[in-house]
């Protein structure tokens, strides 16, 4: 192991790497409960999403471990799973068709991972739009968490209003949220996962949670349950683009952030970037064939780096622990059936995704408004693609009328035209 992962050269050892891997796993294991809870609302069978989530996470993380040799974990991304569900609800298409869009986005990402176009694409998109997209997704999933918990409910006059806070599920959600917030404030490692466990225990004694077993054989699943042809029949091109663009931004940003923290960046360059990005692309493609939304690098990997993880051995441990969790599907199914357990996670993760707002140039209107309109419209239209469209259309227009048209990359003008046509003739309802 030491020779395979160059542990001595990296100033680490097997014990440190294993502990770092366990730490990373505990901080992100919530996804194997939250992802099925969200995607099952789109009609995807729980067992199928559960298995697909774990397999895609294991495949991506193990590729990262063996080929890229970074302590970075891969799993289906938060936000994109909520977008997946919203596409099924608003476009009137089957989940198999949306899985087809994810599959195509994964293939495109895989191809782009080995070309310079990926770098050109990332550099062409202004920072304000990137931060706006990430923050908009954060608000979107936090809003979903508030709805799932019952803290917010529908109202015909005001659209939304405060819910019945005395309802057992809502009360448990609030307790779970407070417990998890306290754990984070105390900087407890694995706070999200521990918070979910505590909430589940309280829910059990409140009579809201029933278990039909803990351990079982891995659940059966349907392989390649996707409809690629339906993507073209229903014209879901902007959906593919949204999946692709958000995955590229999210993954690249996260990987660079973890690499900087671990000291891997050299003269602004990210060594073995192609292998690292390929790990995510393969995970997305494999996950789509089994039944889950796009995968991404997890910022929770920084917890493993903070614990001393510096090599692919950390990721190897994470991947193996994901595979081990396949045998606990009854436990996970019970937990996901109670929204009060997963809702606090969505709300808190939404908060994490707002960090980039501090970097938006709010005093420059042509930078601030496109970010603002993205953040505003994503949760209110329940569509990540619509929010992105608003930003990509308004940004070049404001730059042009401000006399700064030459600052905008030609690709952004192209995207603006594409999004304008899509909004005018193929709007999401």
Dist CA 161 CA 320 (whole Å): 44
Residue 179: which pLDDT band, with cuts at 50, 70 and 90?
very high
Residues 6+ apart with CB under 8 A from 354: 135, 138, 139
Of 50-54, 176-180, 398-402, 421-425, minimum mean pLDDT range:
421-425
Let me know if 189 is exposed, middle or buried by CB neighbors in 10 A (0-12, 13-18, 19+).
middle
What DSSP designation does 269 have?
A: B
Dist CA 187 CA 128 (whole Å): 30
Residue 268 confidence (pLDDT): 62
Dist CA 364 CA 228 (whole Å): 43
What DSSP designation does 183 have?
A: H
Dist CA 42 CA 168 (whole Å): 25
pLDDT tens digits along 343-386: 888 898 888 888 889 999 999 999 999 999 999 998 888 777 78
Tokens coding 172: 């448990």
Residues 6+ apart with CB under 8 A from 228: 100, 103, 104
Of 174-183, 313-322, 343-352, 387-396, minimum mean pLDDT range:
343-352
Residue 428 confidence (pLDDT): 53
Residue 90 confidence (pLDDT): 83
Residue 4 confidence (pLDDT): 83
Mean pLDDT of all residues in the chain? 88
Average pLDDT in the 313-332 region? Answer: 91
Residue 429: which pLDDT band, with cuts at 50, 70 and 90?
very low
Residue 39 scores a pLDDT above 50: yes
More confident residue, 192 or 282: 282
Average pLDDT in the 188-217 region? Answer: 86
Q: Are 323 and 54 in contact (CB under 8 A)?
A: yes
Residue 264 scores a pLDDT above 50: yes
Q: Which helix (H) or strand (E) holds 76?
A: strand 74-76
Dist CA 375 CA 391 (whole Å): 9
Tokens coding 184: 């984070």
Q: Closest by alpha carbon to 69, among 270, 306, 261, 285?
A: 270
Dist CA 300 CA 78 (whole Å): 12
Q: Are 420 and 393 in contact (CB under 8 A)?
A: yes
Dist CA 267 CA 144 (whole Å): 41
Dist CA 414 CA 276 (whole Å): 29
DSSP state string for 102-146: HHHHHHHHHHHTTSSHHHHHHHHS-HHHHHHHHHHHHHHHHHHHH
Residue 426 confidence (pLDDT): 61
Between the CA of residue 318 and those of 80, 323, 335, what are the distances in Å? 22, 9, 22
pLDDT more than 70, % of the chain:
97
Average pLDDT in the 122-146 region? Answer: 85
Residue 191 confidence (pLDDT): 83
Strand partners, 152: 162
Phi-psi region of 354 (alpha: psi -120 to 50; beta: other; left: phi over 0): alpha
Q: Closest by alpha carbon to 101, among 292, 266, 282?
A: 292
* This model's pTM is above 0.75: yes
Residue 211 confidence (pLDDT): 80
Q: Can you say whether the dihedral through the CA atoms of 60, 61, 67, 70 is positive or negative?
A: positive
Strand partners, 295: 76
3-state secondary structure of 154: strand
Residue 66 confidence (pLDDT): 95
Between the CA of residue 3 and those of 7, 167, 186, 312, 334, what are the distances in Å? 7, 57, 37, 12, 42
* CA R_g for the chain: 21
Dist CA 109 CA 62 (whole Å): 18
Residue 335 confidence (pLDDT): 79
Residue 427 confidence (pLDDT): 60
Residue 72 confidence (pLDDT): 93
For Cα atoms 246, 258, 115, give the angle at the middle one, nearest 5 degrees: 50
Pairing of strands 295-297, 74-76: antiparallel
Strand partners, 160: 154
């Amino acid at each position: 192991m030491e020779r395979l992962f160059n542990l001595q050269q990296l100033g680490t050892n097997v014990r440190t790497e294993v502990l770092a891997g366990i730490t990373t796993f505990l901080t992100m294991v919530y996804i194997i409960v939250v992802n099925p809870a969200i995607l099952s609302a789109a009609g995807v069978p729980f067992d199928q999403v559960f298995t697909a989530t774990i397999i895609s996470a294991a495949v991506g993380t193990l590729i990262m471990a063996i080929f890229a040799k970074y302590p970075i974990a891969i799993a289906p991304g938060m936000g994109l799973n909520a977008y997946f569900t919203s596409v099924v609800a608003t476009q009137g298409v089957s989940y198999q068709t949306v899985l087809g869009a994810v599959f195509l986005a994964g293939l495109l990402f895989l191809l782009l991972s080995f070309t310079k176009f990926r770098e050109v694409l990332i550099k062409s998109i202004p920072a304000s739009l990137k931060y706006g997209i990430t923050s908009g997704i954060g608000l979107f999933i936090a809003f979903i968490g508030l709805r799932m918990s019952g803290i917010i409910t529908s109202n015909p006059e005001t659209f939304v209003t405060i819910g019945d806070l005395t309802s057992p599920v809502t009360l448990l959600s609030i307790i779970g949220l407070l417990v998890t917030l306290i754990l984070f404030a105390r900087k407890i490692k694995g706070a999200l996962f521990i918070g979910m466990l505590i909430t589940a225990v309280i829910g059990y004694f409140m009579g809201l949670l029933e278990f039909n077993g803990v351990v079982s054989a891995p659940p059966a699943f349907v392989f390649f349950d996707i409809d690629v042809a339906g993507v073209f029949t229903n014209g879901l091109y902007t959906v593919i683009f949204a999946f692709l663009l958000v995955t590229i931004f999210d993954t690249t940003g996260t990987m660079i952030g973890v690499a900087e923290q671990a000291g891997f960046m050299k003269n602004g360059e990210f060594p073995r970037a192609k292998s690292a990005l390929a790990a995510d692309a393969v995970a997305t493609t494999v996950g789509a064939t089994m039944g889950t939304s796009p995968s991404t690098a997890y910022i929770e990997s920084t917890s493993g780096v903070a614990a001393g993880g510096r090599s692919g051995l950390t990721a190897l441990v994470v991947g193996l622990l994901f595979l081990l969790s396949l045998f606990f599907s009854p436990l996970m199914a019970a937990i996901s059936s109670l929204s009060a357990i997963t809702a606090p996670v969505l709300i808190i993760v939404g908060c994490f995704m707002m960090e980039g707002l501090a970097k938006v140039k709010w005093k420059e209107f042509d930078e601030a408004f496109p970010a603002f309109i993205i953040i505003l419209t994503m949760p209110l239209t329940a569509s990540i693609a619509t929010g992105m469209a608003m930003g990509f259309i308004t940004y070049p227009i404001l730059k042009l009328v401000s006399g700064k048209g030459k600052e905008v990359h030609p690709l952004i003008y192209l995207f603006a035209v594409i999004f304008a046509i899509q909004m005018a003739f193929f709007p999401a309802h």
